Amino acid sequence: MNTDCKKDTGGKAGFIKDKNTYTLYKTDIQKRNYKMLFYVSFSLLFLGILFLTVNSFFHIFNSGTKYIYLYWVGSSCCMFLLCLWKKQWILNHAIAVLYIYLAGIMVSMIISGTYFYRDSASAVMIGCIACMPILLFDKQWRFCLFDISICLLFIIFSFMAKDPSVALIDCVNAFSFCFISCLIGMYTIQLKFLDIRTKYMILEQLETDSLTGLMSRNAAIREIEKYYRSPSSGIGSLFIIDIDHFKDINDTYGHLEGDHILIEVAHIIRDSFPETDCKARLGGDEFLVFMKNVEDTARIQTYAESLNRNVQEGSFSFNKNLHLTVSIGISLCRECTSFEELYVQADTMLYEVKNQNRNGYKIYDK
């Protein structure tokens, strides 16, 4: 999504081929793992308290298992509070924290399923291994490495604590479910990546003008309003650019050639301004450029004159001899705090230029 106006042709979906997928979507991955950490810690905190309460009345579990649930309550309570009080830090390190937290829970389950229940195969631990694909969203090799490590640790503890015949059952069950867990985990990770990628593709389609590749009108307005809401925002300048006599071009050469003109003018606009400026198509033959942190009228004049010159000197693919010009209305409002204020002033300047033989620019500077 084009949230910083640095690229006009896209957001994350536009760079899928150029960057590592994991790096590209790392923020989204961290957010999903944070949510999983939050809900798992809350769930285990609740279950730990519930099991301890039930056990205090009915004495269902042995004395060793009680300490496992006490560990659940303690670690889950700490993790849940960290998610609330240190949200940003946990968000930035969600994957690592989730691995550490789950490793502790899994080790406690391994101890419970081996040393505290020596005479039977551990069904609960097998269930935990099977649930792993739901809990983690990370690189596939790291997920599989974690899953296999937990499985091997469980098998080692099982052979240390149980009769070999019982431990062998644990071994077969653990390897079987670990294999299934790894396959399902790799598949679900691919689906999660696809889900994120699809989200950004949809956002890109909504926020990008399909013909020119510039930002859409609504996306540009949101960015400008966001800029003015920022405490660190400076003075902004809005350019409204209109292609002169574009209707005549459509009538003479046809709408298909008119579309080619719009595409090529969009390229000229993109190349005439810094990458950090917002560039959008307002609709029809009107374009918008929003320059950030600009107070110097001379600088604005330089960009306006450069754009006029670049359009006039442009070589258009379907007609090399076509002479094209643009009219530009510019607002440099030092007290404006919204897109609407800038737009009204720039639009007024645009129509003054169009009423004065076009092919020029005029600046509102108050």
Please identify every residue annotated as catalytic. 285
CA distance 215 to 354: 25
Of 263, 228, 223, 229, the C-alpha closest to 243 is 263
* Backbone angles phi and psi of 170, in degrees to 5: -60, -40
d(CA 258, CA 226): 33
Whose structure tokens read 């956002």? 203
Determine contact, residues 71/108, Cβ cutoff 8 Å: yes
What is the Cα–Cα distance from 265 to 111, expressed in whole angstroms? 69
